[in-house]
């Protein structure tokens, strides 16, 4: 029995829907009026850009921390 996510057509449909939703939200960000509390929030698409930069920063910091905290394979061997 194959699952829903085993079929390539379903995956393509999900990805296209996701990308379409992302484009729709980006377009709405330019069309809808938002209440700005800070000057930096007036930049078009500020929150998507901020989220992307934050995620990339988290990945880079996690890679750096892995090098710092990683132990040898036989660390717990007596």
Confidence tier at 1 by pLDDT (50, 70, 90): low
The structure tokens listed for 29 are: 């960000």
Lowest average pLDDT, out of 24-28, 52-56, 73-77, goes to 73-77
| Cβ–Cβ under 8 Å, residues 42 and 36 | yes
- Is residue 46 within 8 Å of 40, Cβ to Cβ? yes
- Predicted TM-score (pTM) of the model is 0.60
- What stretches of the chain show up as alpha helix (H) in DSSP? 8-31, 46-69
Considering only residues 77 and 40, tell me which one the structure prediction assigns the higher pLDDT: 40
């Amino acid at each position: 029995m194959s699952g829903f996510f085993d079929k390539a057509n379903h995956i393509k449909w999900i990805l296209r829907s996701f990308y379409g939703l992302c484009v729709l939200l980006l377009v709405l960000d330019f069309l809808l009026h938002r209440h700005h509390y800070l000057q930096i929030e007036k930049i078009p698409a500020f929150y998507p850009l901020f989220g992307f930069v934050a995620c990339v920063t988290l990945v880079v910091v996690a890679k750096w921390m892995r090098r710092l905290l990683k132990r040898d394979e036989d660390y717990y061997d007596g």
